[in-house]
Amino acid sequence: MMYNRTMNNDDGSQAGTPSRQAKPSSKEIKRVMKREKDRFMHIGEAAQTIAKLPNSLPVGKARPTKDNTFSHPQQKLMSEKLAVGYNALLDQAELNEYWNPSPMNSRLRKYQWKADAQALLAASDLTQLKSALSNTYVSDAIENGWTQPTMRENVKDAEPVIYWNQLSPKDGIPLKSEQFKVMLAAMAVLFGKDLKTDHQFRCKVTDRSIGTQIRDAWNAFHCFDEIEDSLEDLPGYSQPNIANVVFPLSDSEGESEEELEKEKKDEEVWPMATINFELDKNGKHQMNVFIKNWTENLKDVPDDHYVPIPAEVGWSMTPDERKFQHRTMTGTPALFKCTYLLLMVLFPEKEFTMYQFHLFTVLDAANVSSGESLGSHMLASYAPYGGFNFAAAGISVASAYDKESGLRWQQAKIRAEDLGTYDVIAANMAEEKERYKKVIQDKVERRQRVEVEHWESIADTRARIGRAYALHEELKAWQKDNATLKEILDRLGVPEVQDEDSEEEEIEIVE
């Protein structure tokens, strides 16, 4: 799909906007619409299975690193703390409570949450945790061949896990800052905040608005050729205020040019109306907050820096089933879903994919709420960071404690033992103990150095005071002897400096 907009390509060249050509024929419009429909139907079919990472990173593109990839300042701070130890990271996460959309409901206020969270950290790979904090996980996973033991398909056994959904180009290389800003501009059009730029995101061939393209992408993704009952409940929606919103019909392949033109005029009145099934009153507010936060985040970020799409964090007792709901966009927040569709429409060449990873392996119901909340801070998925999660994490975890969960937790612990998870925890806790010892030792040595320097400074000051006092007493004694200045200087060993005029005078006398 091509758009009437100008921006830089990945290679730095500029994609210009050619002058408007003759109006495409109805046949050409239908051909393009069918091509796009087939593309999204293919994406929808592919979403039935877990997206696999490529075997290698693309050649000719700069590899994302912590130096050229955006991460929130709080993520950078947490990464520094993690290098010190688990406790330092948890202390920082506790200080970050105000980044929670509902700080008073934060699970990090729970009694003994740190003990629960420490067990989750110990069951994880330290290198992968640092990669997640630096927002380079996708490319790092491709380069290092990381595998996820919980990313199995068609598994009905319990595999409790804190996971995250990551929207990314298929090759693992994120959008650049300049491209991310294009996405924000398109969002502003959908939100009705900047209707003047609507023309920049219209399809060059069909001249349809970005909203219509997203609506059709949604229909094709779910293989809806046409929805005749406009009040039909949409997949994944149970809220009355959303399910009962009138859902516009798909474009029919049999529409005439006059009908297409009328549809275009209708869109001009309110471009966002074409996706009003996504954006109820709350959804509009969330999109506005998202645009505002990211405008601030990117204020000082160079255009050539990578900016990954924020992650969305969740938890599940049966992740295969839960992640399938995310992949098919039937169990995903509206803003995340709308962003996914928007990215697929704006950047078709990047083949945006929803990759899914597990952050923490959960072994006990008590770890769930702490893990989901900690993960939301580490991956900056909370709305104040610029993420998609607008509610406090770790609250809707009743399934972790229901009557049927006892057997499932037992199954999970048996599987964890088979996978060697407990051995990993023991080894990592031993390393954490050594790190903690080193921190304590460094503090003791630093305190000792400061103490030694302090007493050395005191001794030096006392010596200087003693010397000054002795000199003062000596000067007083010389004054009593009525010593002249020349005599005092002689006693102090200070050589006499003659005045130039005196020297010339003496020379004249000699002559």
Q: For 196-208, give the DSSP string.
A: GGGGGGSBTTT--
In order along its 511 residues, the chain shows pLDDT tens digits of: 444 444 444 444 443 333 445 677 778 888 888 888 888 888 877 777 778 899 999 998 999 999 999 999 999 999 999 988 898 899 999 888 889 888 887 878 776 788 888 889 999 999 999 999 999 999 999 999 887 654 555 556 677 889 999 999 999 999 999 999 999 998 888 777 766 777 788 888 877 778 778 877 877 777 654 433 333 333 333 222 232 233 333 333 444 555 555 444 444 433 343 444 445 667 778 888 999 999 999 999 999 999 999 999 988 887 777 777 788 777 777 788 889 989 999 999 999 999 989 899 888 888 888 899 999 999 999 999 999 988 888 776 766 777 667 788 888 888 888 888 889 899 988 888 888 888 788 888 888 888 888 888 898 898 889 888 888 887 777 776 666 667 767 766 767 666 555 444 444 444 4
Instruction: Please check whether residue 143 is in contact with residue 268, taking contact to mean a CB–CB distance below 8 angstroms.
Output: no
Backbone angle region of 286, left / alpha / beta, with phi > 0 → left and psi within -120 to 50 → alpha: alpha
- For the whole model, what pTM was predicted? 0.73
The burial class, CB within 10 Å (0-12 / 13-18 / 19+), for 51 is middle
CA-nearest of 52, 51, 304 to 174 is 304
Q: State phi, psi for 229 to the nearest 5 degrees.
A: -90, 105
Question: Rounded to whole angstroms, what are the CA distances from 295 to 177, 181, 386?
Answer: 11, 8, 9
CA-nearest of 357, 364, 354, 359 to 397 is 364
The domain locations on the chain are 7-422, 442-492
Q: What is the 3-state secondary structure (H, E, C) of 282-347?
A: HHHHHHHHHHHHHHHHCCCCCCCCECCCCCEEEEECCHHHHHHHHHCCCCCCHHHHHHHHHHHHHC
The DSSP call for residue 176 is: B
CA-nearest of 305, 359, 311, 357 to 333 is 311
CA-nearest of 218, 180, 219, 187 to 201 is 187
Q: State phi, psi for 163 to the nearest 5 degrees.
A: -120, 170
- One-letter identity of residue 115: A
CA-nearest of 238, 189, 243 to 212 is 189
Contacts of the segment 449-455: beta carbons below 8 A, 24+ positions apart: none
CA distance 205 to 220: 19
Q: In a 3-state reduction of DSSP, which class is residue 248?
A: coil
The first and second tokens of residue 308, run together, are 């990954």
Instruction: Give residue 252's pLDDT.
Output: 38
Instruction: Please check whether residue 253 is in contact with residue 34, taking contact to mean a CB–CB distance below 8 angstroms.
Output: yes
CA distance 351 to 345: 10
Q: In a 3-state reduction of DSSP, which class is residue 464?
A: helix
Q: In a 3-state reduction of DSSP, which class is residue 60?
A: coil
User: Which residues have a Cβ under 8 Å from the Cβ of 217 and sit 6 or more positions away?
Assistant: 36, 40, 341, 344, 345
Instruction: Give residue 333's pLDDT.
Output: 79
